[in-house]
Amino acid sequence: MLAPVPHLTTALAGPLLQLEQSLLDRVVDIESWLRARWRETPAPFYCSVDLRNAGFKLAPVDTNLFPAGFNNLNPAFDALCVQAIQIAVERACPTAKGVLLVPENHTRNRFYLENVAALQNLIRQAGFNVRIGSLLPDLREPQTIKLDSGRELVLEPLRRDEDQVGVEGFTPCAVLLNNDLSGGVPPILEGLDQPVLPPLALGWHNRLKSQHFGLYREVAAEFGKLLGIDPWLVDPLFRNCGQINFMKREGEECLAMNVELLLEDIRAKYKEYGVREEPFVIVKADAGTYGMGVMTVRSVADMQNLNRDARKKMAATKEGKEVTGAIIQEGVYTYETWGPDRATAEPVVYMIDHHVVGGFYRVHGGRSNQENLNAPGASFQPLAFEEACNHPDLSCGPHDHPNRFYAYGVVARLALLAAAREVARSKAAP
């Protein structure tokens, strides 16, 4: 039998152990600090955060405000999700009886459809009517899809009536987006008088990773100050370039310069902490999603030697949108492995409102610990967390499972806080 939790294989657990010990020693201060922050900027409806655990560092690398993957969570924590959904809806729309769920148009992605079904089921169990309003342009009538899990999904055409959307005979109080709006806000969703969760402005048409990680940098600095630790232990360094066109080879100098500078910064940090690994960076679309346009780079030469295929891959993101800006992010090794084959694993933590409700590992035998595990075609195996991640076990040590998971929950909430500040900023914007 496999161990129930991925193995953390690293000789360099020193700084992280110190971080985890700080988290344990300071649980009350951390939780109280976070509670104060949620009063300043309430958390978005839901969020998932991809983390990478390098042993010497534990950091978020991607924050998704329209999380898929609810089907990958441990059913043992359904009750926790249900409770958190009740709290989140109570806050957003206290009188709501119904929720309209607007998913992505990926009708051929069975995994994604399972996610929609799982999410619908959780919201239903929380005591709400929930129906699915699809943006599929050629959907004229309800379509029932039978899923491998045995669940059935009914997609209905989204309809607009004055300033409200709904489906036939159902115009609920709240609209829940599970669509990241990569292609822009569809006109049917513009100017609604129903609350839309999360707000439309947080779609990928408008959101920039560099803005998120800029806000995250501030959060990490405040958190580092609270705990008296180097924020770098939870914060991936990054730089960004505004105008890039991979196919036309525009903006390459900016990219090369920033890769160089970032690698230098990482090298300095590795030296400071005695990390003997080779630094690497991840280059990705600043506004992209779904792991398209993601590249691991170890040197400027790597950048310059890109062939046409690689350029093409980088140039397009989801829904064919052209990459115009890029973020160059410190690559964080993942030192968690799963099973006898030591498949690479990275944790994904789920939150509803400001409550951590679990997560899963992406396990990928075919990818190294320096690569993105969420690329298209790179079908990872999901491994549900056996812990809810929302509380420590003070009777065991910092590396014991419940506490490693609690550390994930804390760092994921730091990313959630950065996202909450994005929401606040988008509301303040004209």
What does the alpha-carbon distance between residue 249 and residue 252 come to, in Å, rounded to a whole number? Answer: 6
Side chain identity, residue 144:
T
Nearest CA to 54 out of 13, 3, 21 is that of 13
**36-65 mask for a second copy (x: CB under 8 A)?**
x--x--------------------------
203 within 8 A of 182, measured Cβ to Cβ: yes
**68-97 mask for a second copy (x: CB under 8 A)?**
--------xxxxx-xxx-xx--x---xxxx
Q: How many whole angstroms from its chain centre is CA 176?
A: 17
Window contacting a second copy (CB under 8 A); options: 10-18, 30-38, 44-52, 256-264: 30-38
Applying the rule CB under 8 A, the residues between 121 and 160 that interact with a second copy are 121, 124-129
Nearest distance from C-beta of residue 242 to a second copy, angstroms: 41
CB of 13 or CB of 175, closer to a second copy: 175
Q: Is 253 in the site for a second copy (CB under 8 A)?
A: no
Q: Is 98 in the site for a second copy (CB under 8 A)?
A: yes
Applying the rule CB under 8 A, the residues between 154 and 213 that interact with a second copy are none
State which of residues 225, 394, 396, 427 lies at the interface with a second copy (CB under 8 A).
Answer: 394
State which of residues 3, 9, 25, 29 lies at the interface with a second copy (CB under 8 A).
Answer: 29
- φ, ψ for residue 94, nearest 5 deg: -55, -30
Nearest distance from C-beta of residue 99 to a second copy, angstroms: 10
State which of residues 8, 14, 17, 31 lies at the interface with a second copy (CB under 8 A).
Answer: 31
Q: Is 9 in the site for a second copy (CB under 8 A)?
A: no
Strand partners, 363: 345, 381
Nearest distance from C-beta of residue 250 to a second copy, angstroms: 49
Nearest distance from C-beta of residue 175 to a second copy, angstroms: 17
Enumerate binding residues for a second copy (CB under 8 A).
27-32, 35-36, 39, 76-80, 82-84, 86-87, 90, 94-98, 121, 124-129, 355, 387-388, 390-394
